[in-house]
Amino acid sequence: MFKLDFVNKYIYKHILKIIVSILFSFLAVIFSVLTFSTLYLFLQLLFDKIQAVAKPESFSFNQKIIADYLNFLFTEIIRVEGKSKALLYISLGAMLLFFVKNLLTYLSSYILAPVRNGILYNVRNDLYHKLLILPISFYRFHKKGDIISRASNDVQELDESILKPLQAVFIQSITIVFYLMALFIINYKLTLFVLILLPIGAFIISRISKVLKKTASKLQIKQGNILSIIEESISGLRIIKAYNAIDFSNDRFKKNNEIFTNIKNIIYRRTDLASPLSEVLGTTIVIATFLYGGSLIISKNSSLDGASFFLYLVLFINIINPAKSLTTANYQIKKGKASIERIKYIFDAKEIIEEHPQAIIKPDFNESIRFENLDFYYDNDKIVLQNINLEIKKGQSIAIVGPSGAGKTTLVDLIPRFYDTKGGNILIDEIPIKTIEIESLRKLTGIVSQECILFNDTVFNNIAFGKENVTEDSVIEAAKIANAHEFIIRMENGYHTFIGDSGSLLSGGQRQRLNIARAVLKNPPILILDEATSALDTESERLVQDALEKIMKGRTTIAIAHRLSTIYNMDEIIVMNHGKIVERGKHHELIAQNGLYKKLHDLQSFK
């Protein structure tokens, strides 16, 4: 039951508090056993069973001595105060003991609250961090909704189905052990009899709960699907509406929801079985005990008398509830293990882009970037880049052009190590980038990517993204260079306007200019521009183009261009096709060559 994988590591962090909490539970159980012992006194008193005994010489945990002690104490009280007062004292004593017992139980859970939440806090933090570290390729095979579901639902499930039941297991086990000890003291024969029956019950229960984990993992997968559909639908709402796909999407969702609900029914029915099942088993055991205990009393040749047997049964019935909780906990933990596996899957995912053990920090860029016999393919082995050789000297601007799918974005993604090369090398100042510390490598490069990545935050925070202690002036200056200042100050709260999810409140051109402003502020020595393919209107395009030209000045730039009119003045133009460099040179040279570049150029001239 305790093979909880990575969760153990988190639990150990709080071991001290857990021990204190267990200690309180421990005390609470002692007090509850004491409470029931007063009941014993009560019965003895009613049945006139109390006989005066001499005060025992010394104290020890022996049934006879404890009983003698209590008898002595009690006969003294009766002698001095009379029977009815004694009855009152017993009742008051029982109440006090009961109060203390509950106080201790509460303290025990009180201490555990920050433990449970602390574990979740740490798991969530680590999980998010891991999601940031994981390579971009990881996200190609995993739906966003599924990952979100793991990071939210499964972590919640960890609490509900692992930590909470685990707490029950601790507390209830202590309770059961103590009550059993008390039962042993009262009558060991009867208790041995019970002990033989209990494991049989436990076995039956564990058999029935076995299938739970598998069903639970199916449930979590379906939950991930549902989240994926919601996530995709919200971001693709325009398309859904434009293509009249509301009914289509709705049906798709309903189908998934139906499967999800059916699995949930199975799970509810199974977990709900825990309670009646353990009750039936429990009652069977109680009745068996009744039978056996009764026969012991009838046969008269045992020390068991009516009052003891009554107390015995009361204590015994009090084991049933904790035992029931244990059963439920067992069910829950089986169910929770599916979530553990789903979270672990992310924790165990390979980081692939790993820091070189002797990675060097490279604070500046002095000479050149060189691609040397570079080969690359994504995980499906289809070659995407083949034998690329290219050198870009500091201060140069080069343009990469070529048909869609030629491998342009892939090529530039290799520079900040979003992916690692499969063959050959990329060298910055003749140092292979795999030996440069990843963070310092990424400081050298700034990217304005093909998709404009913005966050649901203010304009200011989107421009200042990833930088600390950024002044308002520097952000404004960056925005001015990016031709964004004008539209920003016309927004409701200027630089402090929220731009909506992924910048949904901005136009395409505005989004691009915010992305450019972000790169300007970062001020990297190497700038990578992946021109957006979506067409902008002429005015917007002119503003974006003008902004790009401004930031390229005096910087080493690799620009992927779709509008060839923008690259006439570049130092070199690289033409790519099917993952290879097919032509290179200046604009007029390439036109004269009358090859692919000329073709692309002619195609665009018709626009």
Ligand X SMILES: Nc1ncnc2c1ncn2[C@@H]1O[C@H](COP(=O)(O)OP(=O)(O)OP(=O)(O)O)[C@@H](O)[C@H]1O
b/e code 106-117 from CB counts within 10 Å (16+ = b): ebbeebbeebbe
Tell me which residues in 133-162 interact with ligand X (CB under 6 A): 140
Stretch that binds Mg ion, among 15-23, 308-316, 349-357, 403-411 (CB under 5 A): 403-411
Q: Write out the H or E segment, with its range, that includes residue 152.
A: none
Stretch that binds Mg ion, among 3-11, 28-36, 409-417, 548-556 (CB under 5 A): 409-417
Stretch that binds ligand X, among 202-210, 310-318, 401-409, 435-443 (CB under 6 A): 401-409
| Dmax (CA) of the chain | 124
Among 223, 325, 410, 557, binds ligand X (CB under 6 A): 410
Closest CA to 413 of 468, 374, 373: 374
Among Mg ion, ligand X, none, residue 404 binds (CB under 5-8 Å by kind)? ligand X
Among 387, 409, 540, 593, binds Mg ion (CB under 5 A): 409
Tell me which residues in 510-539 interact with ligand X (CB under 6 A): 533
Tell me how far CA of residue 52 lies from CA of 56, 79, 306, in angstroms. Answer: 12, 10, 19
Task: Show the binding pattern over residues 260-279: x = contacts Mg ion (CB under 5 A), - = does not.
Answer: --------------------
Number of amino acids touching ligand X (CB under 6 A): 13
Closest CA to 483 of 396, 423, 542, 424: 542
522 within 8 A of 516, measured Cβ to Cβ: no
Task: Show the binding pattern over residues 414-453: x = contacts ligand X (CB under 6 A), - = does not.
Answer: ------------------------------------x---
Stretch that binds ligand X, among 338-346, 348-356, 404-412, 462-470 (CB under 6 A): 404-412
Cross-strand bridge partners of residue 146: none
Give the torsion through C-alpha atoms of 432, 437, 439, 444, to 10 deg: -40
- Gyration radius of the chain over CA positions: 37
205 within 8 A of 274, measured Cβ to Cβ: yes
Residues 6 or more apart from 331 whose CB is under 8 A from it? 209, 212, 270, 271, 274
Which of 318/409 has CB closer to ligand X? 409
Which of 374/481 has CB closer to ligand X? 374
Among 75, 409, 458, 545, binds ligand X (CB under 6 A): 409
Which of 47/139 has CB closer to ligand X? 139
Dist. CA 184–CA 182, nearest whole Å: 5
373 within 8 A of 387, measured Cβ to Cβ: yes
Among 299, 404, 471, 594, binds ligand X (CB under 6 A): 404
Among ligand X, Mg ion, none, residue 407 binds (CB under 5-8 Å by kind)? ligand X
Task: Show the binding pattern over residues 278-317: x = contacts ligand X (CB under 6 A), - = does not.
Answer: ----------------------------------------
Cross-strand bridge partners of residue 392: 369
Tell me which residues in 379-398 interact with ligand X (CB under 6 A): 384
Shortest distance, CB of residue 149 to ligand X, whole angstroms? 22
370 sits near ligand X (criterion: CB under 6 A): no
CA angle 37, 42, 47 (to 5 degrees): 125
Shortest distance, CB of residue 392 to ligand X, whole angstroms? 18
Which of 28/412 has CB closer to ligand X? 412
449 sits near Mg ion (criterion: CB under 5 A): no
Dist. CA 538–CA 227, nearest whole Å: 39
Shortest distance, CB of residue 386 to ligand X, whole angstroms? 12
Dist. CA 33–CA 207, nearest whole Å: 32
Number of amino acids touching Mg ion (CB under 5 A): 1
Shortest distance, CB of residue 508 to ligand X, whole angstroms? 16
Task: Point out the residue whose Cβ comes nearest to Mg ion.
Answer: 409
Among 151, 169, 263, 406, binds ligand X (CB under 6 A): 406
Shortest distance, CB of residue 229 to ligand X, whole angstroms? 22
Which of 119/414 has CB closer to ligand X? 414
Which of 343/406 has CB closer to ligand X? 406
Which of 401/484 has CB closer to Mg ion? 401
Task: Show the binding pattern over residues 357-396: x = contacts Mg ion (CB under 5 A), - = does not.
Answer: ----------------------------------------
Which of 319/412 has CB closer to ligand X? 412
Dist. CA 95–CA 87, nearest whole Å: 13
Q: Taking the CA atoms of 206, 212, 214 and 217 in sequence, report the sign of the dihedral they define.
A: negative
Shortest distance, CB of residue 165 to ligand X, whole angstroms? 41
- Mark residue 395 as left, alpha or beta (left: phi above 0; alpha: psi -120 to 50; beta: remaining): left
Among ligand X, Mg ion, none, residue 140 binds (CB under 5-8 Å by kind)? ligand X
Which of 29/385 has CB closer to ligand X? 385
369 within 8 A of 435, measured Cβ to Cβ: no
Tell me which residues in 314-333 interact with ligand X (CB under 6 A): none
Dist. CA 44–CA 306, nearest whole Å: 10
Question: What 3-state class would DSSP assign to 10?
Answer: helix
Dist. CA 338–CA 261, nearest whole Å: 17
Dist. CA 581–CA 579, nearest whole Å: 7
Tell me how far CA of residue 75 lies from CA of 30, 43, 252, 355, in angstroms. Answer: 24, 14, 78, 79
Among Mg ion, ligand X, none, residue 32 binds (CB under 5-8 Å by kind)? none
Shortest distance, CB of residue 572 to Mg ion, whole angstroms? 19
Tell me how far CA of residue 472 lies from CA of 454, 464, 484, 499, in angstroms. Answer: 19, 9, 14, 18
Summarize as ranges the residues that interact with Mg ion (CB under 5 A): 409
Summarize as ranges the residues that interact with ligand X (CB under 6 A): 140, 378, 384, 402, 404-410, 450, 533
